[in-house]
Structures are given as C-alpha cells and as structure tokens.
Amino acid sequence: MASRVAAFSLAVFLAGGSARAAEPIDTDGPDFVESSEVVGKGRFQFEADVTAERVTTLVRQGVAGSVELRAQNEGREDFAIGIKWHSQDRNPAAGIPALSWIVHFDQHIRPSVRAVATWDLPYDLALGLIAGRQA
C-alpha cells in the first residue's frame, strides 16, 4: 500500500511540472481548522498528509468563484465527497470574518455540514472556528 501511495504522490508531483500557485493558497489540511477560502474557478488543488499510521488526501476543484467540489480519502477505508461554498468575504476593519459552508457525504452516504469562519487578527495572525454536525 505504501509503495502505491508513494507512486501516486510522485506522479501527481511530476504531472505538476513547474506549476505554481498564481497567488498564496489556503489549505484544508486534515486535523486542522479548514480554510474559509475556496480554490477559485478552474483551479485544482491536491493536498496530502502522510504519517506512519495513514495517508490522507484532499482534492479540491473550483467550479465557480465561490464554489469548489471536494474528494477526501483517509487511510484505506474512509472516503468522502462534498461541496464548499464561500458565502462571505472577510472585512478585517469591521471585524467581519470570512464564512464558508462545507457539505460532505462519506462512503455510507451520511452527510456532515460544517461552517468555517476566519478572522484576520493583528500581526498577520488569523483565528479560525469550525462548527458542524454529522448525521
């Protein structure tokens, strides 16, 4: 299994060639607060978290300026597909956070809904809050 994951990761890396982000990216890495931003229309983002215990991947595809489709795999068993909608831009001067909504369906078609809010703080810091419910 590990060799297949390594081969897949290498293929994705090589396929990207000299590709680079046109602007800074926000990741939705596992085990962290997810970003309130989406990747943007026509953009593709691949994220991976590799540990000794498991490999987690997240693929994000922007289908509109404020909507992305998502596919996530954790280990050998867990798989989810979903959609993320960026509903509100942040306004640091007014203390207004960026806000997004994520709906995921796992391999058993159980939905989860999460709201992600991100505030910009002084000194280039940010505060993220995620709240949600799984059925």
**pLDDT score of 72:** 87
- What is d(CA 129, CA 13) in angstroms, rounded to the nearest whole number? 31
Does residue 44 surpass a pLDDT of 80?
A: yes
Contacts of 75 (CB under 8 A, 6+ apart): 54, 55, 56
- What is d(CA 133, CA 31) in angstroms, rounded to the nearest whole number? 16
Question: How do residues 104-129 score in pLDDT, each as one tens digit?
Answer: 888 787 888 999 999 988 888 888 88
Share of the chain above pLDDT 90, in %: 24
Contacts of 51 (CB under 8 A, 6+ apart): none
- In the chain, domain spans: 24-134
Does residue 86 surpass a pLDDT of 90?
A: yes
The residue with tokens 């939705």 is 28
**pLDDT score of 15:** 56
